[in-house]
Structure 1
Amino acid sequence: MVNGLHEEGGLLQSFSSMSKLCRNGLPCDTSYGFHAESQHYEYCLRCTPRRGDYNFYLYCYDKSAQRVLAPKQAAVQQPPAHTKPKCKTNEKER
């Protein structure tokens, strides 16, 4: 994936080509996001066209691992059931 991005016409061919192509990405503050998928992987690329900074981060996710983990993560992230606060019956109203 990274080698393809560095090839002629690729997003990461040079700093100037990345800066120009970032206009097509999804802006978020000073970074731009790109998303791609293959049969087995999902890729998220974050580009920051600012000299002197790390200019890109590439995240790669295994789709089969995501399918296995998604139900477990959803169960953990369930908010607790809403319960009414307990009121003391012998306490005076203010």
Structure 2
Amino acid sequence: MKQDFDVRSGDVSSMELYYSGSNKENRCIGHIRGDFGKSGDEYWATFWEHEGINAAGKDYKEELTVIVNTLRKNLLKSRKAMRKYIQQHPPLILEAGAIMSYGYQVTTEKYNYCIRCTPCPGVYDFYIHMYVREE
């Protein structure tokens, strides 16, 4: 997969896709849950499979790796870098209040990635839900 893709602000019509348990769960391949540790500069992430894993092509792991590694250069580099990215690239606001969550999307030929960012110590800093695109 080429490393050329656009990260854009999320779409309010797809807010449910940033969370597990949406009505599109049968298309969800899985999600990554990650945080930047206590210092804000660490990187910890875990992948969780969903029921859409069976609909995924064999290439999904390779593409997901490219997407995540590319995002680790800016948006997912650290908590500080995430805050800066959010200031420079206006996101969809998913949750407002004491703890803010923001949404971005990446769309490729086969998959949609919904990236939820919560740059706040003490909670998971990001989730990336990966979906098989509807035909």
Secondary structure of 1:32's partner? strand
Of all paired residues, the percent bearing the same amino acid is 38
- Amino acid aligned to 2:117: C
- Rg bigger for which structure? 1
**Deviations along 1:49-72, whole A, 9 cap, x unmatched?**
111210000000011xx34xxxxx
1:42 to 103, 112, 124: 112
Q: SS state of the match for residue 16, structure 1?
A: helix
TM-score by length of 2: 0.44
Q: Name 2:80's counterpart in structure 1.
A: 16
Match of 2:92 in 1: 26
* Structure 1 unaligned regions, length at least 5: 68-94
TM-score (norm 1): 0.61
Q: Report the alpha carbon displacement of residue 2 of structure 1 after superposing the two structures with TM.
A: 1.1
Question: Secondary structure of the residue that 1:35 maps to in structure 2?
Answer: strand
Q: How does 1:48-87 map to 2 (within 5 A)?
A: 48-63=118-133, 66-67=134-135
Structure 2 gap ranges (5+): 1-66
Residue type matched to 1:32 in 2?
Y
Whole-angstrom distance in 1 between the partners of 2:71 and 2:113: 12
- Specify the SS of the correspondent of 1:57: strand
Root-mean-square deviation (CA), in Å? 1.2
Aligned residues: 63
Shift of 1:42: 0.5
1:13 and 1:53 map into 2 onto residues whose CA distance is 16
